[in-house]
Amino acid sequence: MVVKGKEVKHFLTGNIEAEEIFTPEDFSDEHEMIADLAEKFVMNEVMLSLEKIENQEFTETIRLIKEAGDLGLIGADIPEEDGGMDLGKVSGAIISEKMAYGRSFSITFGGQTGIGALPIAYFGNKEQKERYLPKLLTGEKIAAYALTEPSAGTDAMGLKTSAKLTDDGKYYVLNGEKQWITNSAFADVFIVYAKVDGTQITAFIVEKGYEGLSTSPEEKKMGLKGSSTRSLILDNVKVPAKNVIGEIGRGHIIAFNVLNIGRYKMASTALGSSKRSIELAVKYANERKQFGNSLSDFNLIKQKIADMTIRTYANESSVYRTAGAMQNGFEEMKQTGEDYGKTIARFAVECSINKVMSTEALDFVVDEAVQIHGGYGYMAEYEVETIYRDSRINRIFEGTNEINRIIIASTLLKKYSGHSELNQIGNGPLERAKQTLKLMKDYYEATIQAIQKAGIDNLNKEQEVAAFLADLAIGIYRSESAVLRAEKAFNRSGEEKSSQKLDCAKIVVHETAQQCAIQGLNMAGYLRDDEAFLHAAGRLISSSTENIVETKRRISDRVIAAERYVV
């Protein structure tokens, strides 16, 4: 979604120009400074303590959170009036990306800056903000987010934790168990969701010192071994009534909107891990000799490096496009007086798209990085092995990718108006890619119409249809983001300086279009072989691009020469 004054353009139906989206090439001096600050903190402080962190020496984690707070990294995108630095959503994404190098520490940090502090920052009253935010933003106090339960994971509305008001009206008594709570071993403040009178989901600020609150032993996890993950036990915990965040019965609004922000921040962190995986893989491929040549001389290795780079480029383009749009939305909110909930909700689809796309891109990239390392990639002393294990939880965190697909599809189907404004494509090096992108958008419209003709309206039930529609929307968003970024770079710097972006964008569009068309053909029978739908799928699958083999070799050669992700 692009917001320009009062005009709202949707990426699926509107004509969006390259200059209307934010790209990493638009980073200001301030953005570059915050990137440098975050990177130096991770490389010079966190990386040196990784062994202690991975061994769960939590005193080291607590110390580093405090240092991050002193540097202003925790409150970077929190409003200045609430004690933050108000540097915007782009800066927040940059920091999350850089923190990825800190592996388990990035999860602790994300729990603090995102889902831990934001319920208070965005939905708390003045007294709550004044009482809790200053120490949370400096890292003196640490926050945890307690939503998941043993019988209610992604189904947040099914939570069982209860809250009952005392006769004098001064306290709520909370009872229940929260599961898999990040930062729980050392958190000072928990954001706990419970049902008042068994029906009204409500958010509470619960301090660790309250009587009846306890945590279980640490969970033994596949990855992220340095983060704290425990159950939170609430046994007749008396919470002051003034610690209710927002309104009684509106806690789910807080939960869902904070999770939207969490998804966008997670996408940024996954992007950082993808870049690190490429760097490790390429350096290893250059050093490792087989049959008298470096691994990076072999064309199948080059193909892997190219595919890793292409997916990361599309991921990066989408993440910062979303960050820029959200930053515009938050700035507009200050002028219009719209509340945080409504502002964040405007970007719910994009946040879910980024979460699904980024976490699945990372899993692909790090898997290929392990493959390039061969047997060494399976050994624990190699960093890529740790990233591989750590990455797997991301498709489960913040709502599973399956649930996020249903959210995307259900929202889009509900909002579809049947009106689009797609113009003809102009000339230039991306002409063919833009023609294919337009075919993808035509295909999206044909898909929606076929779904409606088939009488399908409950995507919670028709989940295969939901997944297909979501994948199509994700494919269009990532493809358009890649193309517009490359076009913007070409317009500013010419073809030679933007050649890597142009090559990546062409492949992104072509391969995404092919995948979406094949998925659609597999759905055709269930959608009653709708004629317009089949025609759109046929046009899409017959679209073509440049010489893919040569293009991918060019992409990989540039990355191999630089020994890191470059576009």
Question: Among all residues, which ones are annotated catalytic?
Answer: 398
Question: Across-strand partners of 4?
Answer: 7
Residue 49 has what DSSP assignment? G
In 224-368, the DSSP E strands lie at 229-240, 244-245, 289-290, 293-294
Q: What is the dihedral of CA 468, 470, 476, 477, to 10 degrees?
A: -160
* Residues in contact with 75: Cβ distance below 8 Å, sequence separation at least 6, in sequence order: 69, 83, 84, 85, 113, 137, 138
Residue 217 has what DSSP assignment? P
Task: Quote the CA–CA distance of 69 and 38 in Å, as a whole number.
Answer: 11
Task: Quote the CA–CA distance of 547 and 534 in Å, as a whole number.
Answer: 27
CB half-sphere exposure, 61, CA atoms < 13 A: 31
Q: Backbone phi, then psi, for 500, in 5-degree steps?
A: -65, -40
Exposure string for 204-231, b = 16+ CB within 10 A, e = fewer: bbbbbebeebebeeeeebebbbbbbbbb
Task: Quote the CA–CA distance of 517 and 530 in Å, as a whole number.
Answer: 14
Count H helices, E strands: the chain?
Answer: 18, 12
* Residues in contact with 549: Cβ distance below 8 Å, sequence separation at least 6, in sequence order: none
Q: Which amino acid is at 379?
A: M
